[in-house]
Amino acid sequence: MHRKNAPIGVFDSGMGGLTVLKALQEALPHEEFIYIADSAHSPYGTKGAELVHQFSQNIANYFECHQVKAIVVACNTASAVLKQQPLQNIEAPVFEVITPTVKSVQGQHVGAIGTATTIGSGAYAKALQEAGKGLEWAKATPMLVPLVEEGLTTDPIADVLLKHYLADLPNTIDTLILGCTHYPMLKGNIQKLLPNVPLVDAADATAAAVKAFLVNTQMLTETTQGKATLFTTGDAKVFNQLQSLAGFTFGHAKKLDLISEAELSNEHDSNVAVIATA
């Protein structure tokens, strides 16, 4: 595969993956990125594993048709599902966010919050065990993603929900994994509640892992001007309003209509995968 100057594909169920995209741009300022927010199917965390895999496969097929040089699964739920059932027929290397997040954990008494699918999968518990650490407390926090997607991170309801979810966090926990890429947008709220507990999220660790791979494989772009092109499968106007409200400055996302998996499979060779509209 010779795609040195090709873009890097990044996707999430919505806006959360922008935290990873921001870190990727900071680590790799000359690279081109294509970001897909699958807002039409958000949140992934309440969906079954089979459905999340189907959504992820469709997006990966789109990226493969557009010959990206790497795919970053900027979603903990999709990462948990894909660790158990990898993507099929994808040539580009695929980076999930759970492994690099766990590698960045310094504490020994670890807690985690995430979507129901992520926590229920046991992906963090297994990854921590493999790293010689233990997951001592974990909780599904399903209302936090809709909260972020609705732009309510500064609303008092955010603190009410967080206090509810973290009420039984043991005082022995010395590290809390934010096991969803939406949750860094609530980091300030969480840190106020847990001022002495380090918070770990996927963004910087994942960006570092992708950069290391590109360096080691001599796949860094030879171009000098990086950029990011954003798409959403949902309402582009709403998505753009929310990302602006959250402080992101990536520019406007365009509407993307992914065609069905069967149609995409039939059209794979002709590179016809989507209809994109402004």
Q: Which pLDDT score is estimated for 269?
A: 41
Could you tell me the pLDDT band of residue 1, with boundaries at 50, 70 and 90? Answer: low
Give residue 3's pLDDT: 82
- Phi, then psi, of 125 in degrees rounded to 5: -60, -45
Is residue 38 domain-shared with residue 78, that is, in the same domain?
A: yes
Query: What's the whole-number mean pLDDT along residues 4-17?
Result: 94
Helix crossing, 203-216 with 18-27: angle to 10°? Answer: 40
Which residues form the domain of 88? 8-97+205-277
Is 1 a domain residue? no
- Same domain, yes or no, for 26 and 144? no
Question: What is the four-CA torsion angle of 148, 112, 210, 1, rounded to 10 degrees?
Answer: -90
Query: What residues act catalytically?
Result: 75, 180
What confidence tier does 259 reach under pLDDT thresholds 50, 70, 90? low
Least confident of 4-8, 217-221, 271-275: 271-275
> CB neighbours of 200 closer than 8 A, spacing ≥ 6?
101, 104, 105, 175, 176, 177, 178
DSSP state of 260: P
Q: Are residues 182 and 257 in the same domain?
A: no
Band of pLDDT at residue 258, cut at 50, 70 and 90: confident
194 and 111 co-located in one domain = yes
Q: In total, how many domains does the chain have?
A: 2
Residues 93 and 221 in one domain: yes
- Predicted confidence (pLDDT) at residue 21 exceeds the cutoff of 90: yes
**What residues does 35 pair with on adjacent strands?**
10, 230
Q: What is the pLDDT of residues 49-95, one digit of tens each?
A: 999 999 999 999 999 999 999 999 999 999 999 999 999 999 999 99
Q: Which residues contact 171 (CB under 8 A, 6 or more apart)?
A: none
Helices (H), the chain: 18-27, 49-65, 76-84, 98-103, 116-121, 123-130, 144-149, 156-165, 187-193, 203-216, 236-245, 261-267
Intra-chain end-to-end CA distance of the chain, in Å: 31
**CA 12/CA 204 separation, integer angstroms:** 16
In a domain, 73, yes or no: yes
- Residue-wise pLDDT for 41-51, tens only, equals 989 988 999 99
Q: What are 169-192's pLDDT values in tens digits? A: 999 999 999 999 999 999 999 999
Q: How many residues does the chain have?
A: 278
Q: Is residue 245 part of a domain?
A: yes
**Is residue 78 a contact partner of residue 9, using CB atoms and an 8 Å limit?**
no
CA geometry: angle 103, 110, 182, nearest 5 deg: 70
Q: Are residues 250 and 240 in the same domain?
A: yes
Q: Would residue 3 count as lying in a domain?
A: no
